[in-house]
Amino acid sequence: MAKSEKISEAVVRRLPIYLRYLSYLQQVGVTTVSSQQMGKNLDINPAQIRKDLAAFGDFGKKGIGYDVNYLVEKIRQILKLDQEIRVALVGAGHLGHAISNYNAFLKDQIRIAAIFDSDPAKQGKQIAGITIQPLEELKETVKERHIRLAIITVPAAAAQSVADLLIEAGIEGILNFAPTTIRTEKEVRIHYADVTSSLQSLAYYLT
């Protein structure tokens, strides 16, 4: 009896955490879970978990808890992981290699469908079975292969122009590993995953 409020970013960031724990419960054969048990394991307030989930529907049963399989299915739907999502990766350096070979997405239907690099020496070579292409082919390939998300693993100096190219090609969301802020007027979602910033903010808490 919930729904139709505006969903905050904080909630959306927690959904993958819930999904991850629920998938684990599936693996170990647990069929029902309470918000209390989830909260204890994930270090999140149980009331928050209930509120987060209730924003999307009445997924639980009073007095019982949540059916694990059902909740996994629902969260996958909410996150649009019930369809294959194709991702372009730009920047075939060390980090690009690592991510391309990281197949943990696969069970979520997230698939790296194209890899680009501006270095001619890398073009034509393969990573994880995907041929590295020049940036000139990006726009066409993105459209042909119905690629909707992108991962940027190029140096900071190149990130903005790569992002512009991706956005022009119609990409809807970008995960940016380059240590730089990306600016755009278009309606594109940009998430940041900068190792340096994460480490630097960690350093603040040193005693």
Partner DNA sequence: TAGATTGTTAATCGATTAACAATC
Residues numbered 34-53 forming contacts with DNA, rule: CB under 7 A: 34-36, 44-48, 50-51, 53
Confirm whether residue 29 is marked as ligand binding: no
What does the chain look like in DSSP terms, one character per residue? ----SPPPHHHHHHHHHHHHHHHHHHHTT--EE-HHHHHHHHT--HHHHHHHHHTT---EETTTEEEHHHHHHHHHHHTTTTS-EEEEEE--SHHHHHHHT-GGGGGGTEEEEEEE-S-TTTTT-EETTEEEE-GGGHHHHHHHTT--EEEE-S-HHHHHHHHHHHHHTT--EEEE-SSS----SSS-EEEE--HHHHHHHHHHT--
Nearer Cβ to DNA (14/111): 14
Q: Could you say whether residue 67 binds DNA (CB under 7 A)?
A: no
Stretch that binds its own copies, among 28-36, 66-74, 102-110, 115-123 (CB under 8 A): 102-110
Q: Could you say whether residue 105 binds its own copies (CB under 8 A)?
A: yes
Q: Cα dist. 58→1, 47, 54, 76, 109 in Å? A: 6, 14, 6, 16, 25
Q: Could you say whether residue 4 binds DNA (CB under 7 A)?
A: no
Confirm whether residue 79 is marked as ligand binding: no
Q: Which of 5, 64, 98, 140 binds its own copies (CB under 8 A)?
A: 98
Confirm whether residue 39 is marked as ligand binding: no
What is the side-by-side order of every strand in the sheet holding 32-33?
32-33, 65-67, 60-61
Q: Which of 17, 42, 54, 188 binds DNA (CB under 7 A)?
A: 54
Q: Could you say whether residue 17 binds DNA (CB under 7 A)?
A: no
Please name the amino acid found at residue 195. Answer: V
Shortest gap between Cβ of 5 and DNA (angstroms)?
9
Stretch that binds its own copies, among 18-26, 29-37, 47-55, 62-70 (CB under 8 A): 18-26
Q: Which of 4, 10, 83, 129 binds DNA (CB under 7 A)?
A: 10
Confirm whether residue 96 is marked as ligand binding: yes
Binding-site residue ranges for NAD(+): 91-96
Question: Which residues form the interface with its own copies (CB under 8 A)?
Answer: 12-13, 15-17, 19-21, 41-43, 78-81, 85, 87, 93-95, 97-99, 101-102, 104-105, 108, 110, 148-149, 151, 172-175, 179-181, 183, 189, 191, 193-207
